[in-house]
Amino acid sequence: MFNPYIIVAILLQGVMSKGSKTVGAVFGYILTTGILIWGLTVYAQGDQIALFGMPISQTVFIVACLVWYAFDTKEFFSARRHVDSVRAAVDSVLLQDQRVVGFYQSTLDAWGSGQLSDLNAAFQQEAKTPYEDFVKIYPPQEGGCLHVLFTQFPPQPGEFLVGVGDEAGAKNPAWFILTNQRLIQRDGKDNTFKELVLSEIDSVAMKGIWNKTLRFQLRTGETKEFQKVTIYPDKKFLKHFRPDINVT
């Protein structure tokens, strides 16, 4: 037999994990324990459990539950590391830098005034978040995009956030930071970050299927190229402040 509530529980865990990774991980332990007890009861009654229509033995079922526990444990520790990382970022001395404070405030002001609403209405809604909570949503975590921006390319007056590209689960997650003034993009060839001032870009060529090569032609005639790029800004975001940029 197969209990359809298991599928519902698994989907529910996924939804809860999106809200809070820690809550999702704890719920995973509860879910796995519930399935284990249910399964052992089924086998004790002389019945069997089927997976995709194929009966599985009690031994295979128990091993599967143990593997599931291992995944739950991995998710739990990953969630704890994330919480600790955010807490350290929120306590960071970076947030005492007036340029950083100004950047966050300019971001809230710009999003709240609807400057990015034609890209996504969620920007204006999120701008209603109090400053302290907003910083927790977009913290300058070490290795993350905003940490790269604040430590290597300090914010300029009037500059605000448009988008970031962090690779989930990666040791060095940061790939790009897009503001209303600049694009800070990581070059996958040597993992260094380069700055591009939006007002200086003439055209952008994106080549490749999985790992992209980005070639920026500047108005000065200079070309800047980024190779083995995994995450990069969407074309419509690049053209929002510079609709005249030719993107191919």
Domain ranges of the chain: 4-90, 95-247
Mean pLDDT of 85-96: 70
User: Across the strands, what pairs with 83?
Assistant: none
Cβ 159 vs Cβ 106: under 8 Å: yes
Predicted local distance difference test score (pLDDT) of residue 153: 97
- In angstroms, the Cα distances linking 100 to 36, 57, 132 are 49, 58, 13
With a cut of 90, say whether residue 89 has pLDDT above it.
Answer: no
Question: How sure is the predictor about 184, in pLDDT bands with cuts at 50, 70 and 90?
Answer: very high
Closest CA to 90 of 137, 53, 54, 122: 137
The pLDDT assigned to 236 comes to 92
- Of the candidate ranges 17-31, 116-130, 156-170, 177-191, the one whose mean pLDDT is the lowest: 17-31
Distance CA 14, CA 65 (A): 17
Please identify, in words, the CATH class of the domain defined by 95-247. mainly beta
Residue 1 has pLDDT above 80, yes or no: no
Task: Sort 70 into a burial class: Cβ within 10 Å, 0-12 / 13-18 / 19+.
Answer: exposed
Token pair in block for residue 221: 């005639």
Q: Which residues contact 207 (CB under 8 A, 6 or more apart)?
A: 213, 215
Lookup: tokens for 153 = 């390319």
Mean pLDDT along residues 154-165: 95
**What's residue 9's pLDDT?**
62
Q: How many helices (H) and strands (E) does the chain have?
A: 8, 10
Burial letters 186-212, b for 16+ CB under 10 A, else e = bbbeeeebeebebeebbebeeeeeeeb
What is the model's pLDDT at position 52?
Answer: 67
